[in-house]
Amino acid sequence: MPRPAPKAAKPRKPPDRATLRRALKKLQRYLERHPTDVRSMVRVARAHRLLGDKERSARWYKLAVQELANRGMGLRALALAKELLAVAPDDHELLLEMARLYARNPGAQREFTGRVAVPLDGGEAVVGPPAPEFTATSIRALEVLDDPEAVEHYGASEPSPATPPPPPPEAFTAEEAQADDRVFERVEKVTSGEHEAPQDLRAKKGVLERATLGEIPLLSGLGKGAFAQLMREMRRVDLEAGDVLFREGEAARSFFIIAEGRLSASVEGEEVAQLGAGEVIGVLGLYAGRRRNATVRAATSAVVFEITDQILASLAKAYPASRRALANFYRSRLLETWFGGSPLFRELPREARLSIIGRFCQRKLETNAEIVSPGEVVNGLFLVVRGEVVLSQRRGGRSEVLARIPRGAFFGCIAAMRGRPTMTSAACAEETVVATLPHKAFAEVLKAHPELRALPQKLAAEELLVTPTFFVGDANIPALSSR
């Protein structure tokens, strides 16, 4: 399983109990005044975890997860839920609740193309006033509470021989327990909507709530059972700036979803892309069985989810219906990569490209099956996912091959746009899988995006026409390259 580069130093050592308890009291007082501050909720949860009180830790984690979900920060909520599962691995109620929020539902969109809401200003999942004043000792305690790797290392439920087990919980005094309960109830009422949130928070939440929780890549296409299994098995990876997630040339055995932060992709040492929250990395190489075509490292501190080929295989075995969601996810990623880099479509707004991608379907065809026949007056757009397609015409009583279209190339027919029947045949040279925008969907796209009526002129300018009614080209998808 790919691992990020090891950290240069061991996780920060946690402060002593007395310091943690003093920091906890200050955080509780702060939350009484600012009950919607997510960062403080997380710090309280982690403090309880380091103090060995799993029950209190879990309930504060849950509150923070729910608040992030309320704000539309789907992937951040999932990242924090993974921490919670480390504290309460048998919390089936949490898995069901997360599945209810994110798994497939009748209102979810048909295709999931790999984006979720990006946090406001690209910053923390925290909306509220400045942090409370702390002494230098307490600040060091907060540095540990803000370091999930340190909390995981020293607060592990099942420590390794190299990791000392967390000490048994030291009972709170009655006064301390009452204070924690009082603050928790206050925060719970505010975050559940029983009390009004401050005006400045409501204004910002109004923006965040326009995000659709259903638009989490892959996850939202799954049923609740499959989602719960995937959430339990996928690995949360915390990265510091400069950490390498994977290197160019390595075998692709997993893919990643960025929950927080920014990553940089480089090829032969030259940066080619910056990737942010909601982006999916490494899907095409994994599905195509190819090696990584770029090196990806953290440009800032980041959190990503890793989903391995073994996880996908066990998911498909346990939940056969999930295979369709996995296939749809892969097809959407292929099409988005193609559309984003194609001169034919890249000038379209991203929302328009995603709308078109959502109209594609996938066809599995036998050898010699005709996709387009001579005499048809149709429009269509096709990406060869597997196999090979041959374009040919009858000339002088013989069939002449005009083009062979391998995996990773595209072709299309614009006979209806030209107002004339095509004289060309598009047939499968072997068992073939194509992603298809059929005639009816093509017509709907032209109606919704009139600028695409200039497609014949663009095709001529790009020298992609092989006949007046057919065009071909390379989709420039490295994972599908025949090289």
* 62 and 180 housed in the same domain: yes
Residue 261 lies in a domain: yes
Is residue 227 a contact partner of residue 219, using CB atoms and an 8 Å limit?
Answer: yes
pLDDT per residue over 154-206, tens digit each? 655 444 444 455 555 555 677 778 888 888 888 888 776 654 444 443 333 33
Beta bridge partners of 414: 379
Last residue of a domain, one of 175, 190, 211: 211
8 Å CB contact between 478 and 290 = yes
At residue 197, the pLDDT reads 45
Using 50 as the pLDDT threshold, list the residues of the chain that sit under it: 1-2, 4-8, 105-131, 157-163, 195-214, 482-483
Q: Do 397 and 470 reside in the same domain of the chain?
A: yes
In a domain, 2, yes or no: no
Q: For residue 1, tell me if it sits in a domain.
A: no
Classify residue 6: in a domain, yes or no. no
Q: At what angle do helices 174-191 and 54-70 cross, to 10 degrees?
A: 20
Range of the domain at 203: 17-211
Q: Flag whether 10 is in a domain.
A: no
How many separate domains does the chain show?
3
pLDDT of residue 413: 95
Tokens of 311: 């996880």
Clarify whether residues 59 and 173 are in a common domain: yes
Spatial distance between the Cα atoms of 262 and 279, rounded to a whole number of angstroms: 9
Residue pLDDT, tens place only, 430-482: 999 999 999 999 999 999 888 889 899 989 988 999 999 999 988 766 555 54
CATH number at residue 243: 2.60.120.10
21 and 143 co-located in one domain: yes
Q: Which of 340, 382, 363, 373 is nearest to 473 (CA)?
A: 382
Residues 136, 262, single domain; the answer is no
Is 254 contained in some domain? yes
Tally DSSP H helices, then E strands, for the chain. 17, 18
Q: Residue 135: what pLDDT?
A: 54
Q: In terms of domains, do 133 and 206 share one?
A: yes
Backbone angles phi, psi at 335, to 5 degrees: -65, -40
Residue after which a domain boundary falls, among 299, 322, 341: 341
412: left (phi over 0), alpha (psi -120 to 50) or beta: beta
pLDDT number for residue 139 = 60
Q: Answer for the pair 38, 76: CB distance below 8 angstroms, yes or no.
A: no
**Are 6 and 238 contacting, i.e. CB atoms less than 8 angstroms apart?**
no
What lies within 8 Å, CB to CB, of 5 at 6+ separation is 243, 244
Helix axes 54-70, 38-50, angle to 10 degrees: 160
Q: Among 188, 211, 234, where does a domain finish?
A: 211
Query: Both tokens of residue 10?
Result: 């061991």
128 SS3 class: coil
User: Pairing relation of β-strands 361-365 and 388-395?
Assistant: unpaired
Are 163 and 235 members of one domain?
no
Residues 130, 174 within the same domain: yes
Same domain, 198 and 295: no
d(CA 26, CA 183): 11
Residue 176 sits in the same domain as residue 102: yes
196 burial level (CB within 10 Å; 0-12, 13-18, 19+): exposed
Nearest to 67, CA basis, from 189, 231, 210: 189
What is residue 261's DSSP assignment? Answer: S
159 and 80, same structural domain?
A: yes
Q: Are residues 389 and 285 in the same domain?
A: no
Q: Would you state the pLDDT for residue 299?
A: 95
| Residue 36 · residue 130 · CB < 8 Å | no
**Residue 18 has what pLDDT?**
84
